[in-house]
Structures are given as C-alpha cells and as structure tokens.
C-alpha cells in the first residue's frame, strides 16, 4: 500500500476547518490525483471543546502547536494560525527542525521572517509552500514559480485585499461615505480584528512583498513597501474619478527600476475599461507582466474558507506528488538584497483641491505646477462650497518628486484650502 501523506493542522479557524472539510469530503479524489492517500493525523487549536461543525474525533489533539510540529506521525505541518511572532513562528521553526515540510497561509510571518525560514528549510532539505498566503484561491505563487519561471518579470500589479475592494466598490454603487461602508463591512465580518491591517494596506503589503521576492529574485522585504491605506478616499473622489473614466483601487505595484526595487501599496486610479477597473466586490486580481508572455491576468476570490483552503491543499498535493520547489522560486541563498526605491517612473496624477474664491486662483495653481515641471492634461471645476470650490486636475506624466514639490508650493499660494488629494494613475 502506498504510504499516506500525514498532515498536522495548527489552527482550526475558518481556513483550518476548510482544510479538514476538503480532506474528509474528497479523500478518494485526493488519493487519485496525488497517487497516495492524504490524511490528517493531528490538530491543534486554543480550545478543544469548541463546536467547529466538523468531526475531529479521529485526530490526535495537541494544545501546543510546537508539540504538533514535532510529532512523529506528521509529515507536513499546516500552519493556519496567523501572526508573525509567537506560536506561529515558533511552531514553524520547530517543524523545520524536526524535518517536516510546511504549508502556510500566514502572509505576515513569511513577509517578515520568510528569508530566514526559507534558508532554514532549504538547509534541512524541506520545503515551505504558501499559496494560500497570497490572494486566496488565485494560484499566483504557482504561476510565478512554475508557469512563468522562464520569464523575466517586469511588473506585478494587482488588487490583493478583497475587503478594501468591497469598500471602494460599495461606496461607488451605493453612494455612501467611507465611514458608512467601513462600519458596514466591519459588522459583516469582512475586516480583520484589527481593521487597520485591511484598510491601512498592511495585509495587502505583506502579499506584495512575497510576490516581489519571487518575481525579482530578491530577499523578501516588507519594510521597504510604501504603504498608504484607503481612509482618505472620499465619495467625491470616487464620483469625480468616475466622471473622468477612472476607478479607484487599492493597488499593489512591484517593479524593478534602475534605482532599485519599487514596492508600493496605495490607492490608484485605473481606467474603468481595464480588467482592474471592472473588478467588483471582494474579488482579487493580480496582473503579471513578463518578457516572453507579455501579460497574464489572474482573477478570483481572495479570501474565505473554501478558496483559501483550496490553496492550502494545492500546496499539500504538490508535496504529495513529490514536487519540491524552493520557497521563493530559487534557492534562498541566491536571493539578493534589493535596494529599495520610491516610485520614480513618471505617471499621470489625479489632484483634488479646494480652491478659494479669489481672483487669479486658478492661475496661481497652474503656475505652481508649471514651476515644478508639471503640465495639466485635464481640469474641471465643480460648484462652490461656501467660499471654496473643488477643482479636479489630471496631470500629464510626472515624477513623484515633482508632484511633491508642487503640493508644497500650493500651500504658499494663499488660494488652496486644506490639504490637496493626490492619487497616482496607473496605466495598464
């Protein structure tokens, strides 16, 4: 009889329970496709008595995930607890030391400690797979490490947080404020326990850092990701961007430039006719651009029990089949440390400012832009609000440095009220 692949699952929340369901419901299918049985031998979670809607009685129970990782009857340690320190980190390290392969859904752990864990695993002859950590059910890690392995990747761009995409599309469709939709999403359970992980771009930034490492052969460096959340986006921005043919998305972009590796997660405008512009609700989309393949668009559910558990099991099946790939697509000791670079590639920008009702106000703003070397592509002025009127400007391509010079100059004109909003327009 073929030796089964034995799983130890640490964490029995939404994803862990989803993995249990797949193994229980599709045992025959998994065995046929893997060429060997895939079974669960032990599990671990904080509470043994909690009703999780699945039968766990046949599995050994460990309160301590480190003990689970060290069990002799576990071949693959499945880490779906979350958190970049504490039990998740300790148990993953213990699994590698004990000679286990690791399948993880933990984006934070790998974005922060991925290099050291990958080096430890590869030194021990083990693998770490993490498809479920990035974009839920979309097989983007597999696409980069396998399907597009012969390509020199030029850019990775995408919507990598479904909660933010839900908020932004809901604001537009319902005409609601950011605050109203944030509360709605929170009440529906769409946001993390700490919502800033979602709306602040941190969750998506972790995912971008992991993809950038694979795409460009660099050590994962979350600290180098420029982060800006969606909290400053107003319903006025959404309506006015739509009026000019754009949608606002929390967009992750990673690309290698002459100055170094650019990684940023921030609100951007994209053409409403583009694949990203048409992305609605909690769906994720990642666009990969390579020299041989040109452009590949991957779209699918970015979170949830089924999609994320599916991604976990995809990695488990690879291990069961004997497919062993370096954590970040090439040996960890060959990954180079990239020089971090801010967004230097010129792009058009969307500007929204409140212009005071004073003679020559528009001329002063145009002069400030001109002094910074920025030309205006389009400009619209909307109805007055008390003593000020909202003015919308779309610039021609410019650098972030030039834009910041112009924004600073606006404060000295005496005709701009409050802080202008500046959002990059990403071309696809």
Structural domain includes residue 319: no
How distant, in Å, are the alpha carbons of 18, 241, 262 from that of 229? 30, 18, 17
- Domain extent for 239: 140-302+333-341
Residues 118 and 264 in one domain: no
Strands (E), 228-342: 246-257, 260-271, 283-290, 294-301, 340-341
Integer-rounded Cα Rg, in Å, for the chain is 24
Domain containing residue 398: CATH number? 3.30.70.260
User: Which helix H or strand E contains 9, and what residues bound it?
Assistant: strand 5-10
Residues 232 and 153 in one domain: yes
- The whole-angstrom separation of Cα 162 and Cα 300 is 10
Structural domain includes residue 74: yes
How distant, in Å, are the alpha carbons of 97, 144, 145, 150 from that of 153? 33, 9, 11, 9
Tokens for 213, please give them: 């490492």
- The whole-angstrom separation of Cα 62 and Cα 48 is 9
Residues 164 and 283 in one domain: yes
Structural domain includes residue 309: no
- The total domain count for the chain is 3
Q: What is the DSSP letter of 346?
A: -
Residues 161 and 37 in one domain: no
Find out whether 428 and 276 touch, Cβ atoms under 8 Å.
yes
Residues 94 and 219 in one domain: no
Query: Is 50 one of the annotated active-site residues of the chain?
Result: no
Helix boundaries (H) for 196-304: 196-199, 202-216, 235-243
Find out whether 340 and 260 touch, Cβ atoms under 8 Å.
yes
φ/ψ of residue 317, rounded to 5? -65, -40
- The whole-angstrom separation of Cα 244 and Cα 271 is 9
Please identify which residue in the block is written with the tokens 């021990």: 124
Domain containing residue 121: CATH number? 3.40.50.720
Burial class, 2, CB count within 10 angstroms (exposed 0-12 / middle 13-18 / buried 19+): exposed
Structural domain includes residue 320: no
Consecutive sets of 10 residues in the chain, 428 residues long: mean pLDDT of each? 92 95 97 97 93 94 97 98 92 98 97 97 97 94 97 96 93 93 88 88 96 98 95 90 92 93 95 94 94 95 90 97 96 95 86 88 92 92 73 92 93 89 89
- The whole-angstrom separation of Cα 379 and Cα 180 is 29
Of 320, 341, 362, which one is at a domain's C-terminal end? 341
Structural domain includes residue 35: yes
Residues 146 and 120 in one domain: no
Structural domain includes residue 317: no
Residues 232 and 291 in one domain: yes
Phi-psi region of 201 (alpha: psi -120 to 50; beta: other; left: phi over 0): left
Contacts of 8 (CB under 8 A, 6+ apart): 40, 41, 42, 43, 44, 62, 68, 69, 71, 74, 76, 77, 78, 100
Q: How many CB atoms lie within 10 A of CB 358?
A: 13
Residues 100 and 154 in one domain: no
Contacts of 32 (CB under 8 A, 6+ apart): none
Of 112, 133, 154, which one is at a domain's C-terminal end? 133
Tokens for 261, please give them: 């590796």
Residues 291 and 367 in one domain: no
Question: What pLDDT does residue 386 have?
Answer: 65
Structural domain includes residue 249: yes
Find out whether 253 and 225 touch, Cβ atoms under 8 Å.
no
0.85 exceeded by pTM: yes
- The whole-angstrom separation of Cα 333 and Cα 122 is 9
Domain containing residue 239: CATH number? 3.30.360.10
Residues 298 and 354 in one domain: no
Residues 272 and 236 in one domain: yes
User: Which helix H or strand E contains 38, and what residues bound it?
Assistant: strand 38-44
Find out whether 26 and 59 touch, Cβ atoms under 8 Å.
no
Find out whether 155 and 255 touch, Cβ atoms under 8 Å.
yes
Residues 296 and 378 in one domain: no
Residue among 89, 100, 107, 207 flagged as catalytic = 207
Structural domain includes residue 266: yes
Q: What is the DSSP letter of 84?
A: S
Find out whether 121 and 77 touch, Cβ atoms under 8 Å.
no
Of 133, 162, 196, which one is at a domain's C-terminal end? 133
Please identify which residue in the block is written with the tokens 């970040």: 328
């Amino acid at each position: 009889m073929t030796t089964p692949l034995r799983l130890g699952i640490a964490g029995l929340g939404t994803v862990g329970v989803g993995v249990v369901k797949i193994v229980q419901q599709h045992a025959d299918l998994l065995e046929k496709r893997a060429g060997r049985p895939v079974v669960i031998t032990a599990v671990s979670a904080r509470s043994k008595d909690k009703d999780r809607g699945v039968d766990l009685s046949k599995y050994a129970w460990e309160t301590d995930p480190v003990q689970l990782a060290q069990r002799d009857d576990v071949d693959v340690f499945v880490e779906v607890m979350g958190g970049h320190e504490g039990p998740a980190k300790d148990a993953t390290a213990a699994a590698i030391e004990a000679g286990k392969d690791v399948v993880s859904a933990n984006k934070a752990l790998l974005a922060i400690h991925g290099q050291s864990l990958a080096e430890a695993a590869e030194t021990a002859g083990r693998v770490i797979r993490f498809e479920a950590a990035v974009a839920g059910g979309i097989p983007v890690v597999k696409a980069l490490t396998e399907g597009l392995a012969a390509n020199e990747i030029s850019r990775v761009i995408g919507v990598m947080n479904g909660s933010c995409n839900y908020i932004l599309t809901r604001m537009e469709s319902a005409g609601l404020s950011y605050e109203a939709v944030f509360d709605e999403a929170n009440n529906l359970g769409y946001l993390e326990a700490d919502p800033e992980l979602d709306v602040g771009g941190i969750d998506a930034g972790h995912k971008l850092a992991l993809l950038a490492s694979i795409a460009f052969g660099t050590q994962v460096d979350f600290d180098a990701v420029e982060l800006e959340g969606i909290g400053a986006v107003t319903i006025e921005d959404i309506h006015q961007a739509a009026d000019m043919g754009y949608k606002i998305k929390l967009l992750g972009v990673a690309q290698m430039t002459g100055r170094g590796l650019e990684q940023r997660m921030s609100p951007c405008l994209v053409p409403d006719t583009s694949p990203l512009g048409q992305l609605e609700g909690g769906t994720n989309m990642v666009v990969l651009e390579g020299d041989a393949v040109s452009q590949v668009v991957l779209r699918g559910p970015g979170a949830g029990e089924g999609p994320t558990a599916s991604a976990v099991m995809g990695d488990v099946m690879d291990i069961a089949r004997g497919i062993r790939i370096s954590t970040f697509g090439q040996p960890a000791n060959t990954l180079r440390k990239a020089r971090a670079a801010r967004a230097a590639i010129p792009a058009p920008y969307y500007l929204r400012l409140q212009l005071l009702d004073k003679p020559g106000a528009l001329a002063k703003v145009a002069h400030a832009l001109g002094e910074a070397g920025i030309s205006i592509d389009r400009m619209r002025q909307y109805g007055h609000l008390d003593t000020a009127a909202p003015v919308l400007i779309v610039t021609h391509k410019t650098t972030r440095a030039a834009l910041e010079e112009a924004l600073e100059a606006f404060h000295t004109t005496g005709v701009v009220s409050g802080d202008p909003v500046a959002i990059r327009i990403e071309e696809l």
